[in-house]
Structure 1
Amino acid sequence: MALRAGTQWLARGRGRLMKRTTILYGSILAVTVVIVALASLRPIRVLPRIAPAPGFALTDQDGNRLTSDDLRGSIVLFDFTYLSCQEPCNRTTATMREVQEQLAAEPEDDPPVRLVTISFDPERDSVEALKAAAEAAGADPTRWTFATGDPDLMKLIVGRGFNVFYEQKPDGSFRFDPTLVLVDGWGVVRAEYRVGPPRAEHIVNDIRIVANEARKSRGPARLAYEATHLFVCRTR
């Protein structure tokens, strides 16, 4: 009797285990089918998640503190310069201004998009100089911020954090790689523009892709976006 009861108990246990396993694999299969269907029927475009952007605390053109936490939830386009720079900085500033103008014509600003110009020459680029440069560039203060920070920290923030090379030359000017960096609302670098300044239209299109992901990657749709990042990652 005891042997028969034990055998029946084991059989019931195996049955329950097989049922749970079937449900588990069935659920995984169903989710996979949904993800594949979403990705196939409506191709999802994403930009790669390159690396976490660095944390920072800077001072803007109004003398206010600007931190990386202040920008969380916003898509941010950064550029890096020193205010006495002429070329190629003039071209980069022009590109930032064109991006600002095109964003102003966008039908929605969700999530919000910010532009930040960071000077790596804080010893000469004072708050007053930043404000004058922002006004000369036509920066909308609600959209485009000029900022700098502690000299000892700028190399860590710009050089190591954003991976932008620069060094000061004996004449006081700088040798550096003109770079723009696009960061999403989660603080992740999504694009780096390192060869000349790119066309503003190209940057704005990338901003649209990141913004669209932020708006739509909620609930079940998030699985489709995560699958795209893992398996497809269509960057253009």
Structure 2
Amino acid sequence: MSATARKNPPVWALVAGIAVLLVLGAAILYQTLGNQTSKFNYDKPGPDFTLQNLDGKNVTLHDTDGKARLVYFYYASCPDVCPMTTYLLSQVQDKLKEKDAFGTKTAFYSITFDPVKDTTEALKEFAGRFHADLNGWYFLRGEEAYSLELARKWEIGVAKQANGDIAHTNVVFLVDKKGQIRHYYNANDLELSADTIAKDLLALSKAK
């Protein structure tokens, strides 16, 4: 093998490396969260953060203590899973609004791990595409290194690719009123419904 080949691995090797990262990230989540006897049996503190909302104000996870929450890591220029998952969350939002529970008893956090591209204006446009109610849905951004480290603290696998896309574990976390992670949803599961998520949120919002 030449020195050039050793310094510049073939594309298939890079793709394989990214695939391994995401599989390992998913495996950690399934191992720690997936094999529970009850959906809400898992109980682990959600790592806190300080990020900026679309108004430039600092927001933390504990700002919404007392509400059941969803936490989702994404990036707005994502070509596939992020828009689809955000659309699913918008359906959950609408179902909670029907129960007068959105923004009052529940809240959503969408956290970008690509703040370089996801400027405030880009996130405003993205949120508008999904008629997000910003009274209860927080689209957050921060420094790139901080955002990537935060995603990893939430056990999200993230890998930047040469074309600018970001391979990542696509999950949505369910957080209770005290800030504890109680469940997670595989957002790539085609059988996952807005009804299921909304019911889970309402159940946690009523729990003591």
Shift of 1:86: 2.2
Specify the alignment match of 1:104 in structure 2: 97
Shift of 1:135: 1.2
Instruction: Show CA shifts across 1:19-74 (max 9, x none).
Output: xxxxxxxxxxxxxxxxxxxxxxxxxx871233110010001112111112212222
Counterparts in 2 of 1:72 and 1:65: CA distance versus 1, 3 Å = same
Specify the alignment match of 1:201 in structure 2: 195
Unaligned ranges ≥5, structure 2: 1-37
Instruction: Show CA shifts across 1:70-113 (max 9, x none).
Output: 12222111111111012112210111000000000115569620
Counterparts of 1:147 and 1:139, CA distance in 2? 13
Q: Which residue, 129, 137, 140 being the options, matches 2:133?
A: 140
Counterparts of 1:100 and 1:110, CA distance in 2? 9
Counterparts of 1:107 and 1:92, CA distance in 2? 22
Unaligned ranges ≥5, structure 1: 1-44, 215-236
Point out the structure with max Rg over C-alpha.
Answer: 1
2:80 pairs with 1:87? yes
Shift of 1:150: 1.5
Counterparts in 2 of 1:80 and 1:46: CA distance versus 1, 3 Å = closer
Secondary structure in structure 2 of the residue aligned to 1:80: strand
Task: Pick the structure with more helix per residue.
Answer: 1
Q: What count of residue pairs does the alignment treat as equivalent?
A: 169
97-106 or 144-153: bigger deviation:
144-153
- Say whether the 8 Å CA contact 2:43–2:182 is kept in structure 1: yes
Root-mean-square deviation (Å): 1.9
Instruction: Show CA shifts across 1:186-206 (max 9, x none).
Output: 010011112515211111111
Specify the alignment match of 2:111 in structure 1: 118
Q: Which residue, 29, 49, 53 being the options, matches 2:46?
A: 53
- Say whether the 8 Å CA contact 2:48–2:60 is kept in structure 1: yes
TM-score, normalised by the number of residues in structure 2: 0.75
Identity of aligned residues (%): 27
Which amino acid letter does the alignment assign opposite residue 207 of structure 1? L
2:148 pairs with 1:182? no
- Say whether the 8 Å CA contact 1:73–1:112 is kept in structure 2: yes
